[in-house]
Amino acid sequence: MSEPKPSEPVKAATTSPSVVHPLTVDSAWPRMRAEAAQAADDEPILGSFLNATILHHKTICAALSYRLAEKLSDGEMNAMQWREVATAAYEDDPAMVHAAVADILAYYDRDPACHYLTQAFLYFKGFHALQIHRIAHWLRKKKRTQLSLYLQSRVSELFSIDINPAAPIGKGVFIDHGHGIVIGETATVGDNVSLLHGVTLGGTGKENEDRHPKVGNGVLVGAGAKILGNITIGEGAKVAAGSVVLDDVPAHCTVAGVPAKPVGKCAGNAGEQMDQKI
């Protein structure tokens, strides 16, 4: 059997956490370039755009810096300034680039509407907002608080996604559609988590201390769910769409309702399986 052309992508056969994904930072970038070249042939009117965003760059780090800078550019901070900030972040912490590739693979594996690796990179605001948040988080750790807050505000304006720069977020995270996502200052999000639109990881009042949810690895949070307070959502758990969660959720448990109550168990990591039925 011949190898599929870049315009004929083949989805991964499995997303089991025990299986190592065949694509890595080194192997994903050549495939993305091949996809972009094919797309430019298929739609010549996009040739200049695809060359500027992907084909012109030798590394995914350079392409990420360029793409995010173009998104962030406004009357106060131009694209060149943002590109310098992004490049500095990626050079100082290469794990951010690996996390970005893990996010791209998460979109490709979990979203049936994502047919190309380049799709999330080029077009999905959830992906863009997450990568910009990683830079804001890096700035926060470097004590550059004011610029991190500027980034938070800019992302909120651009994408209707509001993530406090202090919140650490793991890798392999899938933010589907993204509109209306809110993640508070003391929240944490683990690896291989899937968040649908309208999710809030919020506080319950005016406490000044640790006041936001801790979302474990492999969690799925359905559209419109509100998780409030300093509570823990255990590994592999599932929060049904529209639920309001006020108490800890055990690992591999499914909760639903207002307020949310346990309604069943998850066999594996719900965030990777993307089965939203309860």
Mean pLDDT in runs of 10 for the chain (278 residues)?
41 40 79 96 97 96 97 93 97 96 95 95 98 98 97 96 98 95 97 97 85 96 97 96 96 95 82 80
Choosing from 161, 188, 222, the residue where a domain stops is 161
**What does the pLDDT read at residue 202?**
96
Q: What is the pLDDT of residue 71?
A: 96
Specify whether 181 is located in the same domain as 150. no
At 4 the pLDDT is 40
Quick one: how far is CA 118 from the chain centroid?
14
Pairing of strands 244-245, 226-228: parallel
- The one-letter amino acid code at 224 reads G
**HSE-CB of 152 using CA atoms within 13 angstroms:** 22
Inter-residue contact 190 to 219 (CB < 8 Å): yes
Last residue of a domain, one of 161, 186, 203: 161
| pTM of the predicted model as reported, rounded to 2 decimal places | 0.90
Is the residue at 207 inside a domain?
yes
What phi, psi does 7 have (nearest 5°)?
-80, 0
Q: How many domains does the chain have?
A: 2
Strand runs labelled E in 87-130: none
CATH number at residue 242: 2.160.10.10
pLDDT of res. 21: 56
Would residue 15 count as lying in a domain?
Answer: no
Q: How far does CA 68 lie from the centroid of its chain?
A: 14
For residues 33 and 150, membership in a common domain is answered with: yes
> Does 238 fall in a domain?
yes
Same domain flag for 31 and 125: yes
pLDDT of 206? 75
Q: Are residues 180 and 271 in the same domain?
A: yes
Phi-psi region of 264 (alpha: psi -120 to 50; beta: other; left: phi over 0): left
238 vs 93, 161, 204, CA distance in Å?
31, 22, 21
pLDDT given for residue 273 in this prediction:
82
Give domain status of residue 59, yes or no. Answer: yes
Q: Letter for the amino acid at 96?
A: M
pLDDT of residue 212: 96
Co-location of 197 and 111 in the same domain: no
